[in-house]
Structure 1
Amino acid sequence: MAAAEMPPTDEPKEETAEESCLPNAPLIERERAVLDLCEKYEEKIKFIEQNAGQLSQDVSEEFHELHRFLVREEQTTMARIRKNKVEALAYMEGKVQELTSLLEDIGESSAADMLLAEFDGKVYQKREEFRCVHLKVMGSLPLQHRVWKRMRRVIQPAMEPLTLDPQTAHHGLTLSKNLRAVRQRFGSPMVHTHSKLFKTCFYVLALEGFLDGRHYWEVDVGDKTNWTIGVCNPCIGRSVVGSSTGCTFTKDLSPENGYWVLCKLPGERYQALTSKSFTFRLKKSPTRVGVYLDFRNANIGFHDAENMTHMFTFKDDFQSAGKLHPFFGPGLVTSEPDCEPLRVCVV
């Protein structure tokens, strides 16, 4: 006998707990993703507020220091003007009294002529001295220019007077006698055996290294078509760099390997290696690049030193990176401008 079929029913089928949750799972995941994103935005807002507050305080302190310097310069300059004025007028007033006495005794013409000649000579001398009061106070240059020159003493950080370390220079490089310029060597390369030198690429380090604080230096890159500048930790970085002789830039120049560098490539392109290669162009190619290393704020920035236009900034924990040395690669000679050296600028 055939099994009886169950009659159809209009009652809905009862769902298990697991089945009933399935249609809502994508919505829950999306809601969680939105909440996570909101938390990240809130954290970023707090970070920006904290950093903006610290930045405002730092900027205010630095401007106050410049203001204090300018006030001191103004006070000193005005005091010198007053002092010179008092001295000159006192002398002239004394001579006027002498002249008055001479007029009363004008009858003795010979003596009067002698004294008048002496007086004329001294008056002329004082006139010249008084005329030079302006020059004594301000010098032969405009006042603002002189003050700006002296202001460099209070600017922090001052420009670092870097020198190149010949023991680190690749054998295909030539350093200037003052150790402040480097270019590709023409002719037979020098043979070095020092353990600190770069063996595969045209690089050289500065003698000076930094562990903390703020440091600034400028590099004259001219119209060269390719170069590399930045900082590195030579203790971890030198052994991993380069695989081809004379290379101007390799993927090894990365923060993971102890390098924070900016490179100019042929074709007016610029490249930096962060977690991945980052290439960009500028409206105007700088002929002088400023490098600013700030351990406290954990960044190293590159700027056009002529107008301080920002080029690129690395953010990293430099405190744990060890001693960092300025890093230079003059590039390969691919055109006439590349024959010029890379120069460390001095004040």
Structure 2
Amino acid sequence: MEDGGCGQVGRCGEHGKKLVYFCRLEQLKVCSKCAILGSHRGHTVVPVEEALGELKELLSAHLVKLEAESSEQTSRLEEIERNMTAAQEEAEMLQQQVQEDFATLRSFLDSEEKVLLEWIATEKQRVLEELERLKAKCLQRAEHLSLLADPCKAMLQTTNLSDVFKVLNISSDGCPYETVNDPIVRFETEKFCGPLQYKVWKRMLQIIQTVPEAYTFDHLTAHPHLEISTNRRSVIPRCESLPVDYRDGRFDSCLCVLGTEAISMGKHYWEVTVNKKAKWDLGVAYSSVPRHGDIIYRPSRGIWCLTFRDGYCYEACDEHDIQLEVKHKPNRIGIYVDYEGGVVSFFDAEMMQTLYAFRTHFTDQLLPLYSPCTVEEGLPGDQRITIFKLNM
């Protein structure tokens, strides 16, 4: 039987004719009488060869889609495997780096502890030896005085004047030892007191490669409505334009200023105090960033930036803005750049919690980019942002 009971294979069960047509509506092969007079009258019928060709075209199109999707999944699988390999390698490298960094810190602390304990032991030995010397002299003097005192005590009982006079002369003139008046030394604990951990931490900074760097603002790039402090570590937005020279390197539309120190290698970290400002922009940009007209914060434009608006909204300006969930509003933002590693990270500098990290590949030197934005009406207090300087 063929196609839903239409007769023997190749023949119509009702009319006995060959099944040479295909009914598209019911998707069955039919004979000529079925198509003209029978139950398939009025349906769209085509020759079986034509229907087969059409179905094969549909099948081919479906196969193309399946192969395309299969190719896409293969590519995706390869990407997943590459990422798995990269994750394994990067995690192992990071673990090794962490172990090396902490080993360096432990070695430093062990060395500091050893030096300090040896110093304490040496000082203790010196003090004890000096006290032993004084003790010996005191005992020697006391013993001699006792020898002189005994005859004096005996003469107190006699009535012989010459004997008393003789003993008195001996006691007064026969003392070969000087009175021991050397100062009594003590163990001076105050030499070792004070903020021990802080002192060690300050020395530890000498071995730490990345500490907050005291960067400065390049006043020649500052928008005319931005005032740069004398020490060039603070920038204050102003309502009125300042009397500045208009140069090609100065921003004329965006209220931005660049940092003075260029970054073209190594790892760098600095912090910016934002206090209670309700809006600001912080990041890094290629030194070739446009200074005229509006600029767009995008990595594809050579800018990696974090923005803050309305007193609560933090956004990472990736190729699409990414709103961040920040529970603790930091007063200071840390910015970390690993040039060779292609990393720009932003931190809550008080909690040392990562806010956002960009991964990229740098092709030009970078400059820090800052904006305190416009003057915030009704906001009391100072509206400046300041580059934090770690006082040593």
TM-score normalised by length of structure 2: 0.74
**Equivalent residue, structure 2, for 1:202:** 255
3-state DSSP class of the match of 1:191? coil
Listed as ranges, the matches of 1:22-171 within 5 Å are 22=61, 24-106=63-145, 107=148, 115-116=179-180, 118-119=181-182, 122-123=183-184, 126-127=185-186, 130=187, 132=188, 134-137=189-192, 139-141=193-195, 143-171=196-224
Deviation at 1:159, TM superposition (A): 1.9
Retained in 2: the 8 A contact 1:224–1:337?
A: no
Retained in 1: the 8 A contact 2:252–2:292?
A: no
3-state DSSP class of the match of 1:237? coil
3-state DSSP class of the match of 1:340? coil
**Equivalent residue, structure 2, for 1:305:** 349
**Judging changes above 3 Å, is the alpha-carbon distance between structure 1 residues 341 and 22 closer, same or farther for their aligned structure 2 residues?**
closer
Deviations 1:279-318, CA, capped at 9 Å, x for gaps:
3341121111110001122110001001111111111112
Aligned: 1:184 with 2:237? yes
The letter of the residue matching 1:310 is T
Retained in 2: the 8 A contact 1:330–1:342?
A: yes
Aligned: 1:294 with 2:342? no
**Equivalent residue, structure 2, for 1:8:** 17
Deviation at 1:58, TM superposition (A): 1.4
Hey, what's the Cα distance between the residues in 2 that align with 1:150 and 1:233?
Answer: 35
Hey, what's the Cα distance between the residues in 2 that align with 1:278 and 1:8?
Answer: 70
Retained in 2: the 8 A contact 1:331–1:338?
A: no
Retained in 2: the 8 A contact 1:219–1:343?
A: yes
**Equivalent residue, structure 2, for 1:345:** 388
Deviations 1:222-269, CA, capped at 9 Å, x for gaps:
1100111111123x2133552xxxxxxx6x122222211111111410
**Higher relative helix content:** 1
Retained in 2: the 8 A contact 1:272–1:279?
A: yes
Q: Of the candidates 290, 293, 308, which is equivalent to residue 238 of structure 1?
A: 290
Retained in 2: the 8 A contact 1:102–1:112?
A: no
Question: How many pairs are equivalent?
Answer: 320
**Equivalent residue, structure 2, for 1:247:** none
**Equivalent residue, structure 1, for 2:365:** 323
Q: Which has the higher contact order (CA 8 A, sep 6+)?
A: 1
3-state DSSP class of the match of 2:337? strand
Hey, what's the Cα distance between the residues in 2 that align with 1:232 and 1:279?
Answer: 20
The letter of the residue matching 1:100 is L
Higher mean displacement: 25-34 or 55-64? 25-34
After superposing on structure 2, the runs of 4+ consecutive aligned residues of structure 1 that deviate more than 6 Å are 108-114
The letter of the residue matching 2:365 is K
Retained in 1: the 8 A contact 2:277–2:311?
A: no
**Equivalent residue, structure 2, for 1:222:** 275
Hey, what's the Cα distance between the residues in 2 that align with 1:109 and 1:38?
Answer: 108
The letter of the residue matching 1:303 is F
Hey, what's the Cα distance between the residues in 1 that align with 2:179 and 2:255?
Answer: 78
Retained in 1: the 8 A contact 2:330–2:348?
A: yes
Deviation at 1:190, TM superposition (A): 2.3
**Equivalent residue, structure 2, for 1:255:** 299
Deviation at 1:336, TM superposition (A): 1.9
Deviation at 1:61, TM superposition (A): 1.3
The letter of the residue matching 1:98 is K
Hey, what's the Cα distance between the residues in 2 that align with 1:277 and 1:21?
Answer: 42
The letter of the residue matching 2:371 is G
Deviation at 1:148, TM superposition (A): 2.2
Deviations 1:94-124, CA, capped at 9 Å, x for gaps:
11111112112324689899834x23xx11x
Listed as ranges, the matches of 1:258-269 within 5 Å are 258-269=302-313
TM-score normalised by length of structure 1: 0.83
Hey, what's the Cα distance between the residues in 1 that align with 2:135 and 2:204?
Answer: 42
Deviations 1:107-142, CA, capped at 9 Å, x for gaps:
4689899834x23xx11xx12xx1x2x3323x322x
* Unpaired stretches in structure 1, ≥5 consecutive residues: 1-5, 243-249
Listed as ranges, the matches of 1:269-288 within 5 Å are 269-288=313-332
Hey, what's the Cα distance between the residues in 2 that align with 1:54 and 1:239?
Answer: 39
**Judging changes above 3 Å, is the alpha-carbon distance between structure 1 residues 101 and 169 closer, same or farther for their aligned structure 2 residues?**
same
**Judging changes above 3 Å, is the alpha-carbon distance between structure 1 residues 176 and 23 closer, same or farther for their aligned structure 2 residues?**
closer
